[in-house]
Structure 1
Amino acid sequence: MKSEICEKIRTYFSQMSIYKDPEKTNSIFVGRNLPAFVKDFLLKRFMNVQTGNIDTIGLTEFLDNVIPANPGSVKDKIVSGQEVTLLARFIVYIDLVKGVKQFAIPDFGIKLSDGIIPEFTYKKHQGELVDGEKWGIVKLCLMEDNDGKKKHVNMVEYKPFKPYSSVDVSYLAEARRHFTTQEWIDVLLSAMEYDPDGFINITQKLEFISRLLIFAEPRLNVIELAPKGTGKSYVFGNLSKYGWLVSGGKVTRAKLFYDKTRQQNGIIKNHDFTVFDEIQTIEFQEPAEIQAALKSYLESGKTTIDNNEFSSECGLMLMGNIPLTEDRRPASLLYFNSLPKNFRESALLDRFHCFIEGWLLPRVDTSMIFKGWTINVEYFSEILHTMRTNNSYNLLFDQLVEFVGKADMRDSKAIKRIATGYMKLLFPHWQSVEDVNREEFEMYCLNPAVHRRGIIKEQCHNIDPEFKVGMPEIEIR
């Protein structure tokens, strides 16, 4: 990426900028498998904002204190009666029947049956310590139960991992005005930790950025089929604490939506997006029940599980591999044959909005990892999360676009959601109709939205000829 763009980032995102040096970073964090948003938070704390130099001694000492490289040492300290402070990923489970708030820290061997969140900690963070996965700084100690017969690990203090308590979309919008569209595309790629110069053309860049659509647009349902090694898992597992990556194993309706036995919501409830990675390796138990629940949820964001209505704004994504020819094109025109049999139903697949052609992307190698000044991942993910509830772009779309005639409702919804997502990513500075460049809107937002929805329709038609492939007629006002 050109040095001029890096300097622009330092100028207009001064407090949010960070210098990335992959070789040095890998050496500092060796033995600690941390997502990018945590690494950037730590680097910012120990980085000279003028030079980009890192206080490696200070950072290493901090890591040894709150993220020990030896997980077993944490349990040893707790058992010996010491208080331990950790920056960690933990899982909360609230047992409504017993009235107990439990937690587990899998990376340090603390099981759900070991950890208790006391009432004073829970009340202090009302609404934050809800069911699901969290990141935060926790202080732990060993406590005896009231009867003195058993001990448990107590979470005596908790600080949410949220370096940016709030982010200002208008600040982002104003900063965006200082970049050309081509420059901004490179900024987004560098924020994702990839070097824009590693992509051959604008097509590859836009295909890669399309993975961010589900970060910014609520209830957008996406399918991506791609060869191995194109960075799918990294993007969705490292760039945001608001997403959940399901990689292999068994998946049940209870795990996804609602567990009646535990009276606990599933992973879809408390996340911005849920991604099924390597979907061919995932075993869906009770596939008929899951399929029925998915159909309802994908359509309306709601479904009924054992007389309990479940609703969420979480987007769903299916990611799988697809066999390619020597020239890196799909070996078969029937793309959905690469999905598990339980998903090869046109009525289910038609409820997905967007298709990403992962075979257009390059295979990721070390030369594609970004080095230089860019926007730090924690700020980047937080701004995308905040944009999900910003409806100004939806309203702007309605002012710009008119569906002519009787447009299929699923098509019009899909096109609107995809195009709105692109506006949030590429043109956050479009605040009114007067701001909009019609040519860029058509090129970067509307046409890609029609194309990506069109692939879904075409592939549904291949499964069931009754599905029409025609797309709505659209006019830009």
Structure 2
Amino acid sequence: MIVLDDLDNKLLEHFRGFVVKKDLVRSLKVGANVPVFVLEFLIANSCSTDDEEKIKQGMENVKSILSKHYVNPEESNLIQSRIREKGSYKIIDRISVKLDTKKDVYWADLQNSNIRDGVISDAMVSAHDKMLMGGIWAIIDIEYDAYSKEGATLHPFLIKDIKPIQLSSFDNSRLISKRKEFSKSEWLNLLLRSCGYEPESEGMTHRVKMLLLSRLLPMVEANFNFVELGPRSTGKSFVYKELTPYAVLISGGQGTIAKLFVHGSTGKVGAVGQWDAICFDEATDKIFKERDAVPLMKDYMESGSFSRAGAGGEITGVASIILNGNINQPIETVLQTSHLFSALSDEVNNDTAFLDRIHFYLPGWEMIKFSPDNFTDNFGFSTDYFSECLKSFRKSTYTDTLEDYFTLGSHLKQRDTKPVKKTVSGFIKLMHPDGDFTKEDVREYLELAIEMRRRVKEQLKRIGGMEFWDTNFSYIDKETQDEHYIGLPEEKGSHLIENTPLQPGVCYTSTSDGDNLALVRIEVVITSGSGKLNITGVSNNPVKENIKNTFLYIKANEKTILDEQHSLKNFDVSVQVTTLLGSNVSSGIGSAVYIAIISSIYKKNLKPGLAVLGNISVGGAVERAINFTDKITMLSENGAKTVIVPMDNLNEIPNVPATVLGNTDVPFYSNNQMLMQKGILVD
């Protein structure tokens, strides 16, 4: 009994003939070492239906074709015998071709049939030149001629015809016109089901879905440089091995100059000019066979072109580069002892020039380890149709779209801007192929893009030091002029205080009732109004008095603190107090409230990981912080990078542990102007 959900019914209504039930593919896949796109090529037309009887008939037909024509490696002798006995035969196999320069002829190798040095015409090689670049899956007509010789050597197997296993023609207009029939979440689920994933299974949060989707970016964006490092069993290479005939997997150490870039004697362009994506599987092992390949790859990753002596000038390519590999330690350990590229091959893991060319670092440690429940039983696009869709998207671009709504922050240099724009463009192509999207859609993709590029830059800072200091990546909303800083989940670790510039109105402090400490977050929101104060998150009267006194001090002195345009009489001020750690909040938070209110009014970001100790009295005097050493230590241990403290605590600095002072800056202030000067982030 076939049970369909709403998305299945929509798919069959709008894409019948272009979808398959993915569990059918898995049932055939068992015991057959054949890529998914080959199986789906065979079953798409006969099984793109919800009619159980037709599906059963279609599956029987596909099984018959596979049993008669698909070659399992252990059956190679049987197939060779069958070809000999019948004189000619049709098989499904992976065919690759090599050039014999001594004899000036091409020879064909059939992977599963174990046929070596089959005779193939120059014209056929020219028509299907990807056979020279790792091979293609195809339906192959092969003949046996006992008298076919090259000198004294018999070459009885003759390749007569090849039909590559991919659509012979393609038009993506249906996909574009039908996109409007699906909501954004439905479309995301459809794309994931087309990859074989079940988006409604356990562990599939929206973030995990978007990370899975991002594996398709190299297929829709030309010259996209992508890295995924993480645990085993997360399907890192699955997309490039199984889901498209336009990507090639290169095993560790097999990346030669001739295979990748250009053949020295023939001048033929290598894989970068032949494929849409080149995936280096297990890039934690040696990636390239020759050291000379590294500088060529740097050139190519930077500009999509390279020069090679004797190759006749500059050569261009469109292939995206993917590096996949395993990280075997907990990510916290890697970050404490090294950097997130350390798992890569020694050729490149400390080469900042190479690593800086990476556009997108997918955090593989966030991916789920796949179990049977994570693979879908529902309908998705057939892989041959889906792979053609992905390829067709390469012709369009949305790289300038983000500029309609947002400006990138000052820390993003040219080499950071390009990856961010290409990532946003790729997500729009995947999620909105009809070009119909909103500002908030672009914001979501922009924040992901900035995070993935910042991950690269943060590791470069660990490796190369101050050359890569500018990692506070942000974007500015053109409409509101608000600046938003994007952090990294793994950099926060166990820290409660974020290490990116704080949003206007946000500040941290620590309080003590004499025996117990509390880590406190202050958040101030300014809205148009008439000068009212609203306090939430705290019931302690002394703390409320602290906040009121600070507010009244600003109000009484606003001619020296604020300008007319920002007068408190034009605003209502809401102060949210949140205890993040420890006992209930105590008094002594006035200075933190002061800097939060002023930064919120002027929309000024505060320094990364900022905390403030001390109190400002109604008369403006700065009051000393009690339990100074304990407060500084607590703030530092929870991620504070800067703690601004009253000048009256200066004599207590010798009591602060050296390890704390090594991790956290402790500047002093004696009045409200000094507090603002030392707390505001300078552009």
Task: Give the alignment's TM-score, normalised by structure 2.
Answer: 0.63
Which residue of structure 2 aligns with residue 102 of structure 1?
A: 107
Q: How far 1:100 moved relative to its partner?
A: 2.7
1:329-361 CA-partner distances (Å, limit 9, x unpaired)? 564251111112211211110011111011111
Moved more, 369-378 or 332-341: 332-341
Which of 6, 9, 12 pairs up with 1:10? 12
User: In the alignment, does 2:395 pair up with 1:389?
Assistant: yes
Q: How far 1:260 moved relative to its partner?
A: 1.4
CA RMSD of superposed structures (Å)? 2.7
Which of 70, 74, 79 pairs up with 1:74? 79
Q: Give the conservation status (yes or no) of the 8 Å contact 1:216–1:387.
A: yes
Which residue of structure 2 aligns with residue 425 of structure 1?
A: 430
1:23-422 aligned within 5 A: 25-47=25-47, 49-52=49-52, 53-55=55-57, 56-69=59-72, 70-80=75-85, 82-94=87-99, 99-111=104-116, 114-119=117-122, 121=124, 125=127, 131-143=133-145, 144-145=147-148, 149-152=152-155, 153-163=157-167, 165-168=169-172, 170-198=173-201, 199-261=203-265, 263-282=267-286, 284-287=288-291, 289-308=292-311, 309-325=314-330, 331-332=334-335, 334-343=339-348, 344-391=350-397, 393-394=398-399, 396-397=401-402, 399=404, 402-403=407-408, 408-422=413-427
Q: How far 1:296 moved relative to its partner?
A: 0.6
Counterpart CA distance in 2 for 1:129 and 1:230 is 30
Q: Give the conservation status (yes or no) of the 8 Å contact 1:142–1:151.
A: no
Counterpart CA distance in 1 for 2:47 and 2:191 is 22
Q: Give the conservation status (yes or no) of the 8 Å contact 1:258–1:264.
A: yes
Moved more, 128-137 or 186-195: 128-137
Aligned to 1:206, the other structure's residue is in SS state helix
Counterpart CA distance in 2 for 1:195 and 1:447 is 25
Aligned partner of 1:345: which letter?
A: D
Call closer, same or farther: CA 1:122–1:222 in 2, change over 3 Å.
Answer: closer
Q: Give the conservation status (yes or no) of the 8 Å contact 1:404–1:475.
A: no
Q: Give the conservation status (yes or no) of the 8 Å contact 1:131–1:264.
A: no
1:382-424 CA-partner distances (Å, limit 9, x unpaired)? 1001111223x34645655555779622111111111101111
Which residue of structure 2 aligns with residue 437 of structure 1?
A: 438
1:156-199 CA-partner distances (Å, limit 9, x unpaired)? 1122322351131x321222212221121111111110111223
Which structure 1 residue ranges, 5 or more long, are not aligned?
none
Counterpart CA distance in 1 for 2:95 and 2:384 is 18
Counterpart CA distance in 2 for 1:279 and 1:420 is 27
Q: Give the conservation status (yes or no) of the 8 Å contact 1:95–1:263.
A: no
Aligned to 2:335, the other structure's residue is in SS state coil
Q: How far 1:295 moved relative to its partner?
A: 1.0
Counterpart CA distance in 1 for 2:418 and 2:473 is 12
Call closer, same or farther: CA 1:47–1:270 in 2, change over 3 Å.
Answer: same
Which residue of structure 1 aligns with residue 530 of structure 2?
A: none
Call closer, same or farther: CA 1:37–1:383 in 2, change over 3 Å.
Answer: same
Counterpart CA distance in 2 for 1:476 and 1:34 is 50
Q: How far 1:94 moved relative to its partner?
A: 4.8
Counterpart CA distance in 2 for 1:3 and 1:110 is 46
Percent of aligned positions that are identical: 26
1:229-258 CA-partner distances (Å, limit 9, x unpaired)? 111122221011111112335433333222
Call closer, same or farther: CA 1:474–1:341 in 2, change over 3 Å.
Answer: farther
Aligned to 1:367, the other structure's residue is in SS state helix
Rg (Cα) greater in structure: 2
Call closer, same or farther: CA 1:62–1:320 in 2, change over 3 Å.
Answer: same
Which of 18, 21, 25 pairs up with 2:23? 21
Q: Give the conservation status (yes or no) of the 8 Å contact 1:95–1:262.
A: no
Moved more, 213-222 or 329-338: 329-338
Q: Give the conservation status (yes or no) of the 8 Å contact 1:67–1:87.
A: yes
Call closer, same or farther: CA 1:148–1:307 in 2, change over 3 Å.
Answer: closer
Matched residue count: 462
Counterpart CA distance in 1 for 2:32 and 2:133 is 25
Q: Give the conservation status (yes or no) of the 8 Å contact 2:408–2:475.
A: yes
Q: Give the conservation status (yes or no) of the 8 Å contact 1:272–1:315.
A: yes
Q: Give the conservation status (yes or no) of the 8 Å contact 1:131–1:265.
A: no
Call closer, same or farther: CA 1:426–1:9 in 2, change over 3 Å.
Answer: same
Which residue of structure 1 aligns with residue 462 of structure 2?
A: 462
Aligned to 1:32, the other structure's residue is in SS state coil
1:300-348 CA-partner distances (Å, limit 9, x unpaired)? 11112333243210011111112343xx756425111111221121111
Which residue of structure 2 aligns with residue 451 of structure 1?
A: 451
Which structure 2 residue ranges, 5 or more long, are not aligned?
480-683
Aligned partner of 1:459: which letter?
A: Q
Aligned partner of 2:353: which letter?
A: A
Aligned to 2:159, the other structure's residue is in SS state strand
Moved more, 148-157 or 271-280: 148-157
Q: Give the conservation status (yes or no) of the 8 Å contact 1:92–1:104.
A: yes
Q: Give the conservation status (yes or no) of the 8 Å contact 2:406–2:475.
A: no
1:114-157 CA-partner distances (Å, limit 9, x unpaired)? 1222256457x477766552222211113444777443222111
